[in-house]
Structure 1
């Protein structure tokens, strides 16, 4: 299969391109800069140079690539996110999920691609700390102000993917090399410095996804005929009050402090507090059943331990 990957040099793309080529796929990776083009070639793919926000240029390179499938992994998420300024920090990613998605899916249609897979998020469900969300659970009706533009962009991405008869993979909190939970990631550094407390109840429930498992799910989805949305997460959703102390232990870092939600709001804002207290975990049963896929790391416990085995206290 000939596969066009937009977002080829992101944390998932760097895992995906070699995996696809090892399975015998012909891969074309989108690159916007010379450095990205070099990296795409090093990852074993053919380079297509264009800006995803330039509709005409993108249409030309997708048409030239003549792909059977198009994979949309376009983001521009900063290495460190300020939860009080999330709408600012995600502004470019929101554009890529709205304008970029429109441009890419139009280009895919014009080029005759038969399969479209896009990257969504699994942390968008209406809060409910008791029951992990399946794909039919309602999305967050009244999200915190800083998260509202992010959710609106994701809704747009999902709607356009549905219109293209494609598949959205709702990923959990990504961890592994190059992510905020990687050995040199911003979240890990904050934990090492004792600057990541448990806010309020710590009931915010995270579903994690290792970057390899995300890439493996995309690879499996290319060979399937599944459409709609799937949660691609591990098997063990866990509240912050459970996983954050374990992460600190893995890093030989100070145990996280507990701070009241009101105090947390002053430092991390409404979204930061919601992130720590309201997020809902996701259920991966449908992805396991409909794709030839299972997470390499069924639990964040094993995955984080493997990733952080050589991290040291700084």
Structure 2
């Protein structure tokens, strides 16, 4: 199968291209710059040059690639995000999830691609700390103001994917190479410096996904007829109060301090408090059954330990 990957040089894309090649697929990676083109070639893919926000150029690039499948992993998330300025920090990613998705799926239709797979986010569900969300659970209706544009962009991406009879893979909090949870990632650096507190009771539930597990899920999806939405997360959703101290201990960092909600609102604003106390975990049962897929790291515990054995002394 010829697979066109938009976002080929991102954290998931760097895992996906070699995996596709090793499983017999021909890969084409979208590149918007010379540096990205070189990286695509090093990852074993053919290069398609275009800007995802240039509809004409993108349509030509996809058509010339003659793909059987199109995978949308386009993001432009900075290495460090401020919850207080979330709407600013993810503004470019929001455009890629709205304009970029429209352009890419239109190009895929013109090129006759049969498989459409897009990257969603499993942290989009209406808060409920007791029950991990299945794919039919309601989405967060009134997220913090700074999150609202991101959630609107994700909803737009999912709606366009459904209209194209494609599959949305809602990945969890990504960790591994190229993420904020890598040995030199911004979140790990904050934890190592003792600057990442537990806000309030730390009840927010995180579902994690290793970037390689996200890539294997994409390969499994290409070999299936799955459509709609699937949660691609590990087996152990966990509250911040549980996983953050374990991460700190692994890093040889000071135990996270406790920060009252009122103080957190003054320091980091409401968005940070919402993440730490209201986020909902996700359930991967349907993805396991539908794709015959399982994460290599069934828990963030094993994944963090594997990724960060020397993180205390980078």
How many Å apart are 1:58 and its aligned residue?
0.0
Q: SS at 1:281's partner residue?
A: coil
Distance 2:142 2:3 in 1: 37
- Alignment check: 8 A CA contact 2:250 2:312 kept: no
- Alignment check: 8 A CA contact 1:127 1:279 kept: yes
Distance 1:266 1:221 in 2: 44
Task: Tell me the residue number matched to 1:248.
Answer: 248
Task: Tell me the residue number matched to 2:283.
Answer: 283
Q: SS at 2:71's partner residue?
A: strand
Q: Aligned residue pairs: how many?
A: 314
Task: Tell me the residue number matched to 1:134.
Answer: 134
Task: Tell me the residue number matched to 2:29.
Answer: 29
How many Å apart are 1:270 and its aligned residue?
1.1
How many Å apart are 1:313 and its aligned residue?
4.7
Distance 2:18 2:262 in 1: 46
Distance 1:265 1:47 in 2: 46
- Alignment check: 8 A CA contact 1:192 1:313 kept: no
Distance 2:268 2:121 in 1: 21
Distance 1:75 1:83 in 2: 17
Distance 1:65 1:241 in 2: 47
Task: Give the unaligned 5+ runs of structure 1.
Answer: none
Distance 1:265 1:252 in 2: 28
Q: SS at 1:12's partner residue?
A: helix
Q: Does 1:304 align with 2:285?
A: no
Q: SS at 2:214's partner residue?
A: helix
Trace 1:61-140 onto structure 2 (pairs within 5 A). 61-140=61-140
- Alignment check: 8 A CA contact 1:30 1:49 kept: yes
Q: SS at 1:118's partner residue?
A: strand
Distance 2:277 2:313 in 1: 27
Q: Does 1:194 align with 2:191?
A: no
Trace 1:101-250 onto structure 2 (pairs within 5 A). 101-250=101-250
Dislocated runs of 4+, deviation >4 Å: none
Distance 1:266 1:54 in 2: 41
- Alignment check: 8 A CA contact 1:192 1:248 kept: yes
- Alignment check: 8 A CA contact 2:206 2:281 kept: yes
- Alignment check: 8 A CA contact 1:236 1:300 kept: yes
- Alignment check: 8 A CA contact 1:253 1:313 kept: no
Deviations 1:266-310 (A, max 9, x none): 111111110100000000000000002100000000000100002
Distance 2:301 2:207 in 1: 12
Tell me the TM-score normalised to structure 2 length.
0.99
Q: SS at 2:128's partner residue?
A: coil
Task: Give the unaligned 5+ runs of structure 2.
Answer: none
Q: SS at 1:123's partner residue?
A: helix
Tell me the TM-score normalised to structure 1 length.
0.99
Q: SS at 1:3's partner residue?
A: strand
